[in-house]
Amino acid sequence: MLCSLPPLIRKISLLIGVMLANAWPTWAQKNLPNRQKLPTALREVSGMVRTPEGHLWLLNDSRNPPELFRYDPRTRQLLEKRTLPVPNRDWEDLTLGPDGTLYIGDFGNNRNDRQDLCIFRYHPRTEAIDSIRFIYPDQREFPPQRYADWNFNCEAMVFWRDSLHLFSKSVFASNCTVKHYVLPARPGVYVAELRDSLRLPKRVVTGAALSDDGQTLALVSYIGGRRLGIFPYAHASVFFFRNFPEGYFLRGRMESQRLPQFPLARQYESIAPWSQNCWLVANEQRAWQKQRLRSVRAPK
C-alpha cells in the first residue's frame, strides 16, 4: 500500500517511520508494553529482579506471606508462586547473585528500632535457604531520640562482586541523605560497613538495581506529603549513577529521570534492568492507583 502513494508522500512516510523507529525504546522493539498491570497477588510489590531467562522474581513487603513470585512481563503471565519457610517481617528488596541465589532483604525498618535485620539467601533450584544477620555501625539508639536521625530504614539492595550493597531510606522530615552500606554475601552475623553517603534532592530511596555490565546503578525514589497540611503531593524519580570509582557508586556521575504522575506520582518501590537502555519500575497499589510495571529509559 505504501508503494502506491505519490513519491513525495512515500518519502515523508518513510522518514516518519524511521524517526519513530529510532524513538521507540528497547522494550517496544522486544514487544514489551510501556506499562502493564501486575497480578492481584502483587498488590504491595516492593522488590524485583530480572533473571537471565527474561523473567522477573518479585516480592511483597510487610503484612504479606513470605512468598516469591516469578512473572513473565512479555506474556503477562504469573508463572509460579513459592512460599518460603521464613518470616516476612518487612521484606523490601530483592537481588540476584551470579550463581542464581536470590537475596531477600528483610530489613524494612520504618520505626528505626529493629535489632533483627536480616537478608535471606534462597536458591530457587535447590530450595536451600540460610541468612545474613547484621547491624549498622553508626546506630546506637533504637530508635534514635532525634527524629531527624531516623535514617536506619532500608528498602534498596544490589549484589556486586562478592558483596551486598544497601542504600538507606531516610525519613521525609530529615535531609534526604542516602547512606551506602556494604555486607559480605555469605551467611553469618556482621557489622555493616558504612562506605559512603549522598544527599539527594527531595527524594528518599525505595529500590536499587545494577545494570548487567555493572556500570550503572539505578536508585528509584519518591517523596510525598501534604502541602499546607491539606493538599497531597507525590513525586518520583530514578537516579542513574555512572563512571563511579570501584565500589563507590554514589561518587559517580548522577543523572535523573522523572517518573510520570497523574496527578500524583505512584509509590514506586522496585526497579530492574531489562535491556541496555531500558529499566522496569513497579509500584504498589494505593487507593485508585493499581499495581503496575512501567518501562523507563535511562539517559544516554
**232 domain residue, yes or no:** yes
**63 domain residue, yes or no:** yes
- Burial, 155: exposed, middle or buried (Cβ in 10 Å; 0-12, 13-18, 19+)? buried
Residue ranges of the chain with pLDDT lower than 70? 1-31, 173-174
pLDDT given at position 172: 73
CATH number of the CATH domain containing 266: 2.115.10.20
**76 domain residue, yes or no:** yes
The total domain count for the chain is 1
DSSP 160-173: ETTEEEEEEE--TT
Grid coordinates given for 121: 539467601
pLDDT given at position 24: 36
Model pLDDT for residues 63-116, shown as the tens digit of each residue: 899 999 999 999 999 999 999 999 999 999 999 999 999 999 999 999 999 999
**137 domain residue, yes or no:** yes
pLDDT given at position 26: 42
Q: Which domain holds residue 192?
A: 43-297
pLDDT given at position 228: 76
For residue 178, what are the β-bridge partners?
198
Query: How high is the mean pLDDT of the chain?
Result: 89
What percentage of the chain exceeds 90 in pLDDT? 77
